[in-house]
Amino acid sequence: MDELIKAWDGECVIVSHDRPSGAWIFIAIHSTKLGPAIGGTRMKHYSELKDALEDAQRLAAGMTYKWAAAGLRGGGGKAVIALDHPLDQQERASLLRRYGTLVRKHRGLFLTGPDLGTSSEDMDIIAQEAPSLVFGRTLEAGGGGNPAPFTARGIFTALETTAQRLFGKGGLSGKKILVQGAGSVGRELIHLLQGCGCEVLFSDIEEETVRLHRNEKGLSFVPPEAVYETACDIFAPCAVGGVLNEESIPRLRCRAVVGGANNQLAAPEDARRLQDRGVLYAPDFVANSGGAIALIGIETRGWSREEAMRRVVKAVRDNLEAIYRTADHEGISTDEAARRLAQRRIDEGAPENEDS
């Protein structure tokens, strides 16, 4: 773990061991150049503790770029709660309260919200201990609620923008889209795609989810091991990170990758690998920025939900079009183009982009 911290380009990592539950907590602060670090709290089991630290670090860096590309004054951070064993509801709630206390003690260095393994209800609990440092509480508690519909709308916009570039006027209509992961975001995305005449294929590892989508929604199921070599127009990874790697990229049979998962590229070189294979990649931190943009807008700027939806669509479309243009003109990967866009805003200490 010392090597991970030494090699990291971020600012600091807050580490805490929660003795009552045995969980480890890592809050990775990547950059506060544009503002306090803001990022979700992920809660899950990791087979090795160092994977949890690495996840926090990589996700925090992703948030730096996400806020900067969106033109919002937020810094990059992410928290990971690495569970030692499954917790019952009460143990889980008290862990979240202790975690809330930890967040409060840092007095606004880090603000948080929901992520994989945590819900708006969990945010309500954390916020009891860390008021005004938590986004995405339930609507009843006065928060912005579940960000998944906004995230899915942003990904859908990214799919439309990409389809327009690749297939012209017809856009997404009649196109075959493979969605990997029908969780909270994937499920919403599938719904949007079905509404616009796409042929939707899906994959998931949860039996219950597979049954629901296959039987009740009549969708074609692709077994997890067959995802990468399944022919489709656009592949939409909405599950775990690292799915685009040295091993999977040569197997892809799609024209583009546009999805919601964080950290889709296993390594920076994978952007070039995709480009060499002629696969257009929508950088993840742009495609999946909808939830983050909406929660900040709704909770700090008084946007209505309709206004938030409009802003998400515009931010994702404008950014992605600019990124595709730059990548073309400069002969660089789309990931590189997106990072340059974000880095420019960081270097300028960008004033808040009122358009986004």
Residue 78 is a catalytic residue: yes
Provide Rg for the chain, Cα atoms.
19
The one catalytic residue among 6, 44, 78, 175: 78
The site for ligand PPY, by CB under 6 A, has a size of 14
Least CB distance from residue 112 to ligand PPY, whole Å? 6
Q: Which of 262, 319, 334, 356 binds ligand PPY (CB under 6 A)?
A: 262
Q: What is the DSSP annotation of 96-132? A: HHHHHHHHHHTTTSEEEEE-TT--HHHHHHHHHHSTT
Nearer to ligand PPY, 149 or 291 (CB): 291
Least CB distance from residue 65 to ligand PPY, whole Å? 11
| Cα–Cα distances in angstroms (integers) from residue 169 to residues 148, 233, 261, in the given order | 28, 15, 27
Matching residue, tokens 């950014």: 319
Least CB distance from residue 28 to ligand PPY, whole Å? 12
Residue 291 in contact with ligand PPY, rule: CB under 6 A: yes
Nearer to ligand PPY, 18 or 299 (CB): 299
Q: Look at residues 66, 140, 91 and name the one whose alpha carbon lies nearest to residue 294.
A: 66
Residue 184 in contact with ligand PPY, rule: CB under 6 A: no
Which pairing describes strands 234-237 and 176-180: parallel, antiparallel, or unpaired?
parallel
Residue 143 in contact with ligand PPY, rule: CB under 6 A: no
Backbone angles phi, psi at 206, to 5 degrees: -90, 120
Tokens of 317: 């479309």
Residue span 105-134 as binding mask against ligand PPY, x where in contact by CB under 6 A, dash where not: -------xx-x-------------------
Nearer to ligand PPY, 210 or 292 (CB): 292
Residues in the chain: 356
- Subset of 34-73 contacting ligand PPY (CB under 6 A): 38-40, 63, 66
Nearer to ligand PPY, 52 or 63 (CB): 63
Rounded distance, CA 319 to CA 66, Å? 11
Rounded distance, CA 149 to CA 146, Å? 7
What residues contact residue 151 under an 8 Å CB cut-off, 6+ apart?
Answer: 185, 188, 260, 288, 290, 291
- Subset of 294-353 contacting ligand PPY (CB under 6 A): 295
- Subset of 87-106 contacting ligand PPY (CB under 6 A): none
Nearer to ligand PPY, 200 or 292 (CB): 292
- Which residues are identified as catalytic? 78
**Which residues of the shown chain bind ligand PPY in the complex (CB under 6 A)?**
38-40, 63, 66, 112-113, 115, 135-136, 262, 291-292, 295
